[in-house]
A and B are shown apart, each in its own frame.
Chain A
Amino acid sequence: MLTVTNLTKIYPGGVLALDRVSFAVPDGQFLAVIGLSGSGKSTLLRCINRLIEPTDGQIIWNEIDITSASEEELRTIRRKIGMVFQHFNLVHRSKVLTNVLAGRLGYINPAWSLINHFPKEDVQKAFRQMDRVGIADKAYQRADELSGGQQQRVGIARALMQDPQLILADEPVASLDPVLAHSIMKILQEINKEDKVTVICSLHFLDLVHRYADRVVALKEGQLVFEGLPEEIDDRKFKEIYGKDAERVG
Chain B
Amino acid sequence: MNKKSASLWKSFRIGILILAALIVYAYGFQVTKVNLGEFRKESRQESRVRVMRALARPDIFAYQQVETTVVVPLYIPCPAEIPQNTLTDQSQPYLILTPACGKPGEEIKVEGFNFPPNLKGPLYFVPSSDPADKLALQKGNIQADSQGHFVFSFKLPDRLSDQVQYLRVIVRQNVGLPHFSATAIETWNKIIETIFLALLATTIGTLFSIPISFFAARNLMKDVKSSVTQIALSLLGWPFGVFGGLILARWMGEINSLIRANIFFSIGLTAGCALAAYGLLRYAFFHRSGNSSFGWRLIVPQFAQMIAVLLTVQSFFLISQLGIPAGMAIATHLGKMAFLGNFITQLSDLMLTSLPAVLAIGGGAVLGSLFGNLGRKLNERLSIHALKVVDFLLAMLAGALLCLIIAAVIGWLYEIPNLGRFYLIASGLGAILGAVLAGLTKPRQPLPVGLAIYTITRTVLNAVRSIEALIMAIVAVIWVGIGPFAGVLALGLHTIASLAKLYSEQVESISPGPLEAVMATGATRLQTIVYAVIPQIIPPYISFTMYRWDINVRMSTIIGFAGGGGIGFLLIQNINLLNYRAASTQMLAIAIVVAAMDYFSSWMREKYV
Contacts and interface: CB of A to CB of B under 8 A. Distances in A.
A93 B522 contact: no
B530 A114 contact: yes
B526 A102 contact: no
A225 interface: no
Q: Is the interface of B mostly helix, strand, loop or mixed?
A: helix
A109 interface: yes
Interface string A75-112: 11111111101011111111000100011111111111
Given A76-B292, A93-B535, A94-B535, A105 B522 contact: yes
Given A76-B522, A105-B521, 18 more contacts: A77-B522, A79-B521, A90-B514, A90-B517, A94-B535, A102-B523, A102-B531, A102-B532, A105-B531, A106-B523, A109-B285, A109-B288, A111-B285, A113-B527, A114-B530, A155-B517, A161-B521, A162-B522
Contact of A81 (B284, B292, B520, B539): B520
A107 B376 contact: no
A70 B376 contact: yes
B335 interface: no
B523 A109 contact: no
Interface in B52-79: none
Contacts of A110: 524, 526-527
A177 interface: no
B536 A91 contact: yes
B313 to A, nearest CB: 16
Contacts of B284: 109
A63 interface: no
A85 B527 contact: no
Contacts of B520: 49, 51, 78, 81-83
A104 B521 CA distance: 7
B130 interface: no
B522 A112 contact: no
Contacts of B532: 91, 102
A70 B522 contact: no
Nearest to A87: B513
A167 to B, nearest CB: 11
A119 interface: yes
A211 to B, nearest CB: 26
Contacts, number: 105
Nearest to B538: A93
A78 B521 contact: yes
Give the interface residue-count category, chain B. 20 to 34
Contacts of B521: 78-79, 82-83, 102-106, 158, 161-162
A85 B535 CA distance: 19
B519 interface: yes
Interface in B235-293: 284-290, 292
A51 B290 CA distance: 22
B513 A85 contact: yes
Contacts of B516: 51, 85, 89
B233 to A, nearest CB: 15
Interface in B484-530: 513-514, 516-524, 526-527, 530
B517 A83 contact: yes
B186 interface: no
Nearest to A117: B285
B107 interface: no
Interface in B124-158: none
A91 B531 contact: yes
Contacts of A158: 517, 521
A89 B526 contact: no
List the 7 shortest-distance A-B pairs measured between CB atoms, nearest first.
A106-B522, A79-B522, A89-B513, A89-B517, A105-B523, A78-B522, A83-B520
B468 interface: no
A72 interface: yes
B106 interface: no
A51 B531 contact: no
Contacts of B513: 85, 87-89
A121 B289 CA distance: 15
Contacts of A87: 513
Contact of B514 (A89, A105, A114): A89
B450 to A, nearest CB: 13
A90 B530 CA distance: 14
B380 A70 contact: yes
A119 B287 CA distance: 11
A161 B287 CA distance: 19
A88 B532 CA distance: 13
A106 B379 CA distance: 24
Contact of B288 (A79, A108, A162): A108
Contacts of A88: 513
Given A89-B514, A102-B531, A114-B530, A51 B519 contact: yes
21 contacts: A70-B379, A70-B380, A83-B521, A85-B513, A87-B513, A89-B514, A91-B514, A91-B518, A91-B536, A93-B535, A94-B531, A102-B518, A102-B521, A102-B531, A102-B532, A107-B522, A109-B289, A113-B527, A113-B531, A119-B288, A162-B521
Contacts of B531: 91, 94, 98, 102, 105, 113
A196 B289 CA distance: 26
Nearest to A103: B521
A158 to B, nearest CB: 7
A94 B513 CA distance: 14
Nearest to B373: A72
A114 B380 contact: no
B304 to A, nearest CB: 12
